[in-house]
Amino acid sequence: MKTPHLKPGPPPPARWRKEIESVLVNSERLACRVRQLSRAIQRDFAGKDLAVVSVLNGTVFFLPDLIRHVSLPLRLDFIGISSYGSSAQSGNLVMTKDLRLDIRGRDVLVVDDILDTGRTLSRILERLRGSGALTVKTCVLLNKPERRTVNVQADYVGFTIPDCFVVGYGLDYAECFRNLPFIGVLRKEVYAGHFQ
């Protein structure tokens, strides 16, 4: 499945122009691409004992849109990993919620919002691989390959994006903007001094 590479697009609706520079993915494009990912997952995991492990909190929109169209009897649990430090930079990783589901012998699909440096996903993979899963695959809505510092790749990727800080459709800056129905590029003035 070919991953679309995105460039920043048109300005956002007037209400958001102060904070958001441009729209990277609008809601129609998000819906269409998430539907394609659902179909790929449905096809690849048919007949398997699928356990979806979703990473809190950035998957709050992506996860339900993704799995509601996967017609398989999958199990679902959540894992929480947060980076403490400044809001737009990866600081120290702390596990805020551990997995409760028994994933022994199951085919696990980890769902996260964005693959940036790769530190979060590789920490989660380490945690899951020690739990007896049969296979562990990964699905991220966004991939920012230019920022990678850890060698980790995702099996399912919604969009490849340039090196810019994005918010909306679950993604936040300092817990703000998760509710935007589109993915937008945050203006540098909003996070000035916190992100390089």
Task: Tell me the catalytic residues.
Answer: 116
| C-beta closer to ligand IMP: residue 4 or 85 | 85
Site track for Mg ion across 50-69, x = CB under 5 A: --------x-----------
Q: Contact between 184 and Mg ion (CB under 5 A)?
A: no
Can you tell me the distance from the alpha carbon of 111 to that of 115, in angstroms, rounded to the nearest whole number?
A: 10
User: In the chain, count of helices (H) and strands (E)?
Assistant: 4, 9
The partner in contact with residue 51, picked from ligand IMP, Mg ion, none with C-beta cut-offs of 5 to 8 angstroms by kind, is none
The partner in contact with residue 61, picked from Mg ion, ligand IMP, none with C-beta cut-offs of 5 to 8 angstroms by kind, is none
Can you tell me the distance from the alpha carbon of 172 to that of 195, in angstroms, rounded to the nearest whole number?
A: 14
At closest approach, how far in Å is the CB of 120 from ligand IMP? 3
Concatenated DSSP letters of 75-112: EEEEEEEEEESSTTS--EEEEEE---S--TT-EEEEEE
- Using CB under 5 A as the criterion, which residues of the chain lie in contact with Mg ion when the complex forms? 58
